[in-house]
Amino acid sequence: MKEQLEAIRSAALDSIAGTKAAADLEALRVKYLGKKGELTAVLKQMGSLSAELRPVMGQMANDVRAAVETAIESQSAILAQKALEAKLEAETVDVTIPGKHQEVGHKHPMYTVLDEIKEIFLNMGFEIMDGPEIEQADYNFTKLNTPDDHPAREWSDTFYLDEESKTLLRTQTSPMQIRAMETYGVPIRMISPGRVYRKDEVDATHSPMFHQIEGLVVDKGITMADLKGTLNAVIREIYGPNTVTRFRPHHFPFTEPSCEVDIQCHKCGGVGCPTCKGEGWIEVLGAGMVHPKVLRNCGIDPEEYSGFAFGMGLERLAMGQFKISDLRLIFENDIRFLSQF
Ligand code: DAH
C-alpha cells in the first residue's frame, strides 16, 4: 500500500505540473481525489490492514491528499497568472498606429457674418426678433405704406399662396417692423434677421431665396443723426474703423426721407475697380426715417415718437467679407467650398 500511495503521489504531482488549462486540472482533481478517485480507492482498502499499520498508512494517505491538494492549488494560481498574461499580450495597444481622422463641421460662412452682426447690435442694446416667412400682404406691403399698384406686389415678382393675393412668402424682412411695434409698442430697438423670397432667376447675384436683416429704432426724439451715427458705427465694426460711408437719397414707401448707404470700395479706395464694378462705392444697405403713416398704422403717434429703420442683405455682406464671387456657392453646400472658411 505504501508503494501504491507513493506511486499516486508522484503520478499526480507530475501530471498536475504538466497541465495547461483549468479544465485539465479539474479532471485530475476528480481522478485522484474524487469519490471514485484513485486515492479514495486505496483508502477503501484500509480495513484489511493490521491495527499497527492502519494509522501509519492513514497518516500517509492524508499526506498524499494534502500534497495533491496543495499542488492543484498552486498550479491553478500559475495557470490563472498565465491566462492573464496571455490576455494582456493579445490586447496590446499599438499607440503608433495612426488614429481615425474625425471630420468636425463648422459654422457656415454666412452664419459667421450673421453672428458677428447680432453681437454688434446686442452690444448696442438691440433685441433680436424672429418672424414668419409666410406673411400677410397686409404686413408685407399695406401697413408698410406700399401703394396698391406698387410693382413689388405683382404676381411676377412675389410668391403668393392664395388666389386673393392675401398670403405670400415675405419679400423682405420689413414686415417685422410692423409686428415689432404691434407686439411690443414703443420705445423699441430691434433687429430681425431671416429668409425672404422673390421671383428672381438664379444667377451669380440673385436667388429666389435670400436673407435680410431688418432693423428698427423708435423712441421720442430719434433723428436722422441717430440713423447716421448708429449705421456708421455698425459699418465700421464690420468693415474696419477707417471705412468711408456715403448716405445717398433713395425711395422706400415705408421711410421718409429714405437713403441707401454705400461704403467706399476698400479694394481701390474709391477710384474704381472690378470689385466695385468701376463705381468706387459699394451699396450695403437701405434705410430711412420711419414714415409717419407706418407709425400710425401701428397705433403710434408720429407727433410724439419718431424712428429709423434699415435693411441689409446678408449674402451680399458675407460675399464681401469672404471675397465670394458667386451667390450660388453660399447655398450649394459643396464641402470643397465650405471647408475653405
Ligand atoms: N426692405 C427693403 C428691401 O428689401 C430694404 C430696406 C430699406 C429696409 C429701407 C428698411 C429700410 O427698413 O428703412 O429692399
Q: pLDDT, tens digit, for every residue of 321-336? A: 898 989 999 999 999 9
DSSP β-bridge partners for residue 192: 214
pLDDT at 126: 98
pLDDT at 141: 98
Q: Are 210 and 313 in contact (CB under 8 A)?
A: yes
The verdict on 126 and 82 lying in the same domain is no
Domain contains 97: no
The verdict on 22 and 128 lying in the same domain is no
For a ligand 1 pocket test, name from 198, 254, 290 the mutation site with the most ligand atoms within 8 angstroms of its C-beta: 254
- Atom nearest to 214 CA in ligand 1: 12
pLDDT at 216 over 90: yes
The verdict on 185 and 316 lying in the same domain is yes
For a ligand 1 pocket test, name from 234, 252, 291, 306 the mutation site with the most ligand atoms within 8 angstroms of its C-beta: 252
Looking at residue 339, what DSSP letter applies? T
Distance 123 CA to ligand 1 centre (A): 23
Domain contains 28: yes
pLDDT at 187 over 90: yes
Distance 165 CA to ligand 1 centre (A): 21
The verdict on 85 and 180 lying in the same domain is no
Q: Supply the pTM of this predicted model.
A: 0.72
For a ligand 1 pocket test, name from 310, 312, 314, 316 the mutation site with the most ligand atoms within 8 angstroms of its C-beta: 310
Q: What is the CATH number of the domain that holds 291?
A: 3.30.930.10
The verdict on 175 and 311 lying in the same domain is yes
The verdict on 52 and 199 lying in the same domain is no
pLDDT at 32: 86
Q: Are 218 and 182 in contact (CB under 8 A)?
A: no
Mean pLDDT for 148-165 is 96
pLDDT at 306: 98
The verdict on 80 and 194 lying in the same domain is no
Query: What is the residue range of 334's domain?
Result: 109-338
The verdict on 141 and 47 lying in the same domain is no
- Take atom 5 of ligand 1 and give the residue whose Cα is closest: 311
- Take atom 10 of ligand 1 and give the residue whose Cα is closest: 310
Identify the residues whose C-beta falls under 6 Å from ligand 1.
Answer: 172, 174, 214, 252, 255, 286-288, 309-311
Number of structural domains (the chain) is 2
DSSP β-bridge partners for residue 136: 167
Confidence band, pLDDT 50/70/90 cuts, at residue 31: confident
pLDDT at 165 over 90: yes
Residue carrying the nine cell digits 499526480: 12
The verdict on 253 and 293 lying in the same domain is yes
The verdict on 195 and 152 lying in the same domain is yes
Q: Are 137 and 166 in contact (CB under 8 A)?
A: yes
Which amino acid appears at position 35 of this protein? K
Distance 294 CA to ligand 1 centre (A): 13
* pLDDT, averaged across the chain: 93
pLDDT in tens, 294-308: 999 999 999 999 999
pLDDT at 10: 87
The verdict on 289 and 153 lying in the same domain is yes
Domain contains 166: yes
pLDDT at 24: 85
- Take atom 8 of ligand 1 and give the residue whose Cα is closest: 311
Q: From its phi and psi, is residue 324 left (phi > 0), alpha (psi between -120 and 50) or beta?
A: beta
CA–CA gap between residue 134 and residue 123 (Å, rounded):
30
Least confident among 18-27, 206-215, 259-268: 18-27
pLDDT at 59 over 90: no
pLDDT at 291 over 90: yes
From 41, 58, 90, the end of a domain falls on: 90
Distance 108 CA to ligand 1 centre (A): 25
Confidence band, pLDDT 50/70/90 cuts, at residue 175: very high
**Nearby residues of 33 by Cβ (< 8 Å), 6 or more positions away:** 39, 40, 65, 68, 69
Percent of the chain having pLDDT more than 70?
Answer: 100
Domain contains 96: no
Domain contains 113: yes
The verdict on 199 and 275 lying in the same domain is yes
Higher pLDDT, 211 or 79: 211
Cβ atoms within 10 Å of 280's Cβ, excluding its own: 16
Domain contains 81: yes
Q: What is the DSSP string of 224-292?
A: HHHHHHHHHHHHHHHH-TT--EEEEEEEETTEEEEEEEEEE-TTTTTS--TTTTTSSEEEEEEEEEEPH
Mean pLDDT for 7-29 is 86
pLDDT in tens, 3-14: 888 888 888 888
Q: What is the DSSP string of 296-308?
A: HHTT--TTT-EEE
pLDDT at 13: 83
